[in-house]
Chain A
Amino acid sequence: MAEVSLKDVEKRYAMVPVLSGLNLDIQDGEFTVLVGPSGCGKTTTLNMIAGLESITGGTLRIGARDVTTLPPKDRDIAMVFQSYALFPHMTVRDNIAFGMKIRKAPKADMDAQIRQVAQRLRIDDLLDRLPKALSGGQRQRVALGRALVRRPGVFLMDEPLSNLDAKMRIEARSFLTKMHQEIGTTTVYVTHDQAEAMTMGSKIVVMYGGKIQQAAAPLEVYNRPANQFVAGFIGSPAMNFLSLLYDGNSLLDKAGAVRIAVPQNRRAALAGHKGKKVTLGVRPEHFSILPPGAVPEPDSIAFDVDVIQHLGHEVLLDLSAGDHRCIARLPPSDRSKVGENRLFSIDMDHVHYFDGDSGTNLIDYSRQQ
């Protein structure tokens, strides 16, 4: 096992920077998830840790060693690829043994370790099959077995579950989490699925535009997003954003469809934004519907109900007020009807305030509590 440390890491392709100023410390045994939309640089970062992409600036350390310029074979890593990347001309046994054979491991050790890993992954009856005779889930476990058997210092996983169907993905997610709890190897896991990141990672690194936007524990990222991008990316349905004007007491829009009083304890954070645009971020679960005929309150907005989605355990309402569009998550008992205009109150203790231009979260959470 080993810690991984990136210091000012950069990646350029023909002088075009794609990643810049990456600083990240991954603790020994930590399950770190790199998450972000396509093209954010998460796979490039993983490939640089693996040694499959050169690092054009900064340093990378795995354990106590500077591995910035070392080839993959000297980095003490193993990798699971999105497409499994099994060797199609080799049996499952030979696939798993590939790395050990390259390193000329004694045959008795090799056989024992393959047996042990195959039993753990429940593929011991598949050892003599070729990859083409396996299902997607089985291939994924073989790829995992190939990585596990060498007992590397760091596991690198590049969207290993994205080719599985929804049911198998949930099973595999639990399996991987349990496996990590058992063996405790430092793991760097790449995904574009924020739900996967939230459920599996002990640390989430949200990336966008070749930069790390926030690196923190899953609930920290969810409850205290560093900026509007992180707030919008983590959570499903996504956080609602209302672009408003701050008048020193309230957030309002020019059309008069929305007027929300800012609580006293938040006004200090917004002091410098009087007369400027502020984006109010509200998670769907922080809306609650008021009874018909309720009196408007300082934290309420009247919305038209446009669409109702019954999901069984909850109801999602698509709402509109002037130019603003929101989604509210309500209990299944809600009986709203499409076309109604209803008052919704907002849980102001859980809303977020973002700079209207830069998207930075205006609340400094380090000063809270």
Chain B
Amino acid sequence: MSDMAINPAGRGRLLAVLPKLAATALMLVLAAVWLGPLLLIVMTSIKSNAEFLAGPFALPKSPTIQPYIDVWFGLGFGTLLRNSLIYATAGSALAVTLALVPAFALSRMNVPGRKWIFGLLLTGLMLPQQTVLIPLYDTLRTFHLLDTKIGLIIVHGVYGMPLQVLILRGFMTTIPPEIEKAAYVEGATDFQVFWKVILPLSVPGILVGYTLNFIAIWKEFVFGLVFLNSEDNFPVTVGMLKLNSDRYLAVFNLPAAGLVISQLPIVILFILTYRQISGGNLSGAVKG
């Protein structure tokens, strides 16, 4: 036997780890595809515009926060972020609140025709934004809610509700039915079962739904653009349109800094809620 011969045991080990290696390599490539542009934006946001033009992909030689200062004061980012925070916080809260009772009824109660009702609600998910723009515009105008914060909050709440029903119904279905039965036997009414048992146990589901809705509203652009006129009411996505004007035609670091600022809140939100979202709180309820 030559020294070059492969030990059969070693070859077996290699064959065993090969799929793992391939999977890891694939994940690294995918991560690079996602993280590459993000990294490029962050790098661009801490360069001067001249440095960016000299080498768009080069690492920053003299990092600066000046683009952040310029874009913050130039665009009134404080107001834009505050507005986005209001729309995302209140709009998501409204969507979740509107979805809680239907989700409970559709998951836990014998509502006649519940499959049809659920299907009907889900059609709301399939409607492209463009198809509801005109009716929503008309409705907001009728109620004098055009170009108002409350008007846009209502639109986001109603538009987000079907997804919340889908998420919450799915979550509530996983709550063991014995827990609900125990509450009924103990004397609870339907409302008490909902309020004292199902609702507290649905908190992780609510957080998931709320977070997803928050992110969707934060990133939303079309409703804000169509239903608002006053700069005071603009969310960050619409406010950043200014960076698309001729004045910033050859400026790259300011939009990059604006993008980083605009995305930071949802990254923070995700970090704060990640643990709650990933962990359930049903342990100990039933044998398992």
Query: B residues within 8 A CB of A181?
Result: none
Contact, CB under 8 Å: A79 / B185: yes
Interface centre among A79, A83, A86, A163 (most CB of B within 10 A): A83
- Closest Cβ of chain B: how far from A147's Cβ, in Å? 9
User: Which of B158-166, B186-194, B258-266 is found at the contact surface with chain A?
Assistant: B186-194
Interface size class of B (residues with CB under 8 A): 20 to 34
CA gap between A97 and B188 in the complex, in Å: 12
Find out whether the CB atom of A88 lies under 8 angstroms from the CB atom of B201: yes
Cβ-based interface call for B21 (8 A): no
A255 to chain B, nearest CB (A): 49
Decide if A73 touches B187 in the complex (CB within 8 Å). yes
Q: Please, which residues of chain B bring their CB within 8 A of the CB of A231?
A: none
Chain B 178-201 against A: per-residue CB contact (8 Å), 1 yes, 0 no?
Answer: 110111111111001000110011
> In this assembly, does B174 line the interface, its C-beta being within 8 Å of a C-beta of chain A?
no
* B residues in contact with A73, CB < 8 Å: 184-189
| Residue pair B187, A103 in contact (C-beta under 8 Å) | yes
Q: Given A73-B187, A79-B182, A102-B186, A88–B287 Cβ distance below 8 Å?
A: no
**Binary interface profile of A, 56-88, with partner B (CB < 8 Å = 1, else 0)?**
000000000000000111000111011111111
B184 touches A85 (CB 8 A): no
**Pick from B181, B189, B285: contact of A88, CB under 8 Å:** B285
A interface footprint on B249-288 (CB within 8 Å = 1, 0 otherwise): 0000000000000000000000000000000011111111
Chain B's closest residue to A152 (CB) is B185
Q: Which of A109-117, A129-137, A193-201, A272-280 faces chain B?
A: A129-137
- Expressed in whole angstroms, the Cα–Cα distance for A86 and B192 within the complex equals 16
Q: Inside 8 A of B288's CB, which chain A residues have their CB?
A: 83
Chain B residues with CB below 8 A from A136, complex form: 287
Q: B185–A88 contact, CB under 8 A?
A: no
Chain B positions within 8 Å of A156 at CB level: 185
User: Once the chains are docked, how many angstroms separate the CA of A72 from the CA of B189?
Assistant: 10
* A50 touches B (CB below 8 Å): yes
Cβ of A192 within 8 Å of any chain B Cβ, yes or no, is no
Give the A-B contact count at a CB cut-off of 8 A.
93
A87 x B181 contact (CB < 8 A): no
On whether the beta carbons of B184 and A134 are closer than 8 Å, the reply is: no
Contact with B along A133-169 (1 / 0, CB 8 A): 1101001000000100010000010000001000000
Q: Is the CB of A98 within 8 A of B183?
A: yes
In the complex, what distance in Å separates the CA atom of A146 from the CA atom of B178? 14
Residues of A within 8 A of B196 (CB): 98
Report the minimal beta-carbon distance from A150 to chain B, rounded to whole angstroms: 8
Within 8 A of A (CB), among B134-185: 176, 178-179, 181-185
Residues of B within 8 A of A83 (CB): 176, 178, 285-288
B285 to chain A, nearest CB (A): 4
A146 to B201, CA, bound (A): 19
Q: Are A78 and B185 in contact (CB under 8 A)?
A: yes
Determine if A232 is an interface residue (Cβ-Cβ < 8 Å): no
A52 at interface, CB cutoff 8 A = yes
Whether A87 contacts B287 by the Cβ 8 Å rule is no
How far, in Å, is A245 (CB) from chain B's closest CB?
49
Highest count of chain A CB atoms <10 Å: which of B178, B185, B192: B185
The interface size of chain A toward B, counting residues with CB under 8 Å, comes to 34
Pick the contact of A72: B185, B201, B281 (CB < 8 A). Answer: B185
The reply on A89 being an interface residue by CB < 8 A is yes
A88 contacts B184, CB within 8 Å? no
Tell me the nearest residue of chain B to A98, going by C-beta. B186
Given contacts A52-B184, A89-B200, A102-B187, contact A134 B285 (CB under 8 A): no
- Which of A85, A88, A102 lies in contact with B188, CB distance below 8 A? A102
Give B280's nearest chain A residue, CB to CB: A88
A134 in contact with B192 given A78-B185, A79-B185, A85-B176 (CB within 8 Å):
no
Shortest Cβ distance from residue B8 to the other chain A in the assembled complex, whole angstroms: 44
Question: Contacts A79-B185, A83-B286 given: A89-B176 contact, CB under 8 Å?
Answer: no
> Which residue of B is nearest A103, CB measured?
B187
Contact with B along A84-123 (1 / 0, CB 8 A): 1111110000000011001100000000000000000000
A79 cross-chain contacts in B, Cβ below 8 A: 181-182, 185
Which residues of the partner chain B approach A78 to less than 8 Å between Cβ atoms? 185-186
**Are B178 and A81 neighbours in the complex by a CB distance under 8 Å?**
yes
Q: Which residues of A contact B283 (CB under 8 A)?
A: 88, 132
Interface of chain A residues 243 through 294 with chain B (CB within 8 A): none
Minimal beta-carbon separation of B217 from chain A (angstroms)? 29
Counting chain B CB atoms within 10 Å of each CB, the highest count among A79, A81, A85, A132 belongs to: A85
Residue of A nearest to B286 (CB): A83
The reply to whether A84 and B287 form a contact with Cβ atoms under 8 Å apart is yes
A134 touches B287 (CB 8 A): no
Contact B187 A99 (CB under 8 A): yes
Which partner residue on chain B sits nearest A150 by CB separation?
Answer: B186
Decide yes or no: A52 and B286 within 8 Å by CB, A73-B187, A89-B200, A99-B186 being known contacts.
Answer: no
Q: Which residues of B contact A51 (CB under 8 A)?
A: 184-185
- Mark contacts of B205-230 with chain A using CB atoms, 8 A cut-off: 1 yes-contact digit, 0 otherwise: 00000000000000000000000000
Residues from chain B with Cβ under 8 Å of A86 in the complex: 179, 182, 284-286
- Alpha-carbon distance A210/B209, docked complex (angstroms): 43
Report if A88-B183 is in contact (Cβ < 8 Å); known contacts: A83-B286, A102-B192.
no
26 pairs from A and B in contact (CB 8 Å cutoff): A50-B181, A51-B184, A52-B181, A71-B184, A72-B187, A73-B185, A77-B185, A79-B185, A81-B181, A82-B287, A83-B176, A84-B178, A85-B285, A86-B284, A86-B285, A87-B179, A89-B201, A98-B196, A102-B186, A102-B187, A130-B284, A133-B284, A134-B284, A139-B284, A146-B182, A163-B287
Pairs A-B, 10 closest by C-beta atoms: A132-B284, A131-B284, A83-B286, A99-B186, A85-B178, A88-B285, A85-B182, A73-B187, A163-B287, A132-B283
Q: A98-B188, A102-B192 are in contact. List 8 more A-B contacts (CB 8 A).
A: A51-B185, A52-B181, A72-B184, A79-B185, A82-B287, A85-B182, A86-B285, A99-B187
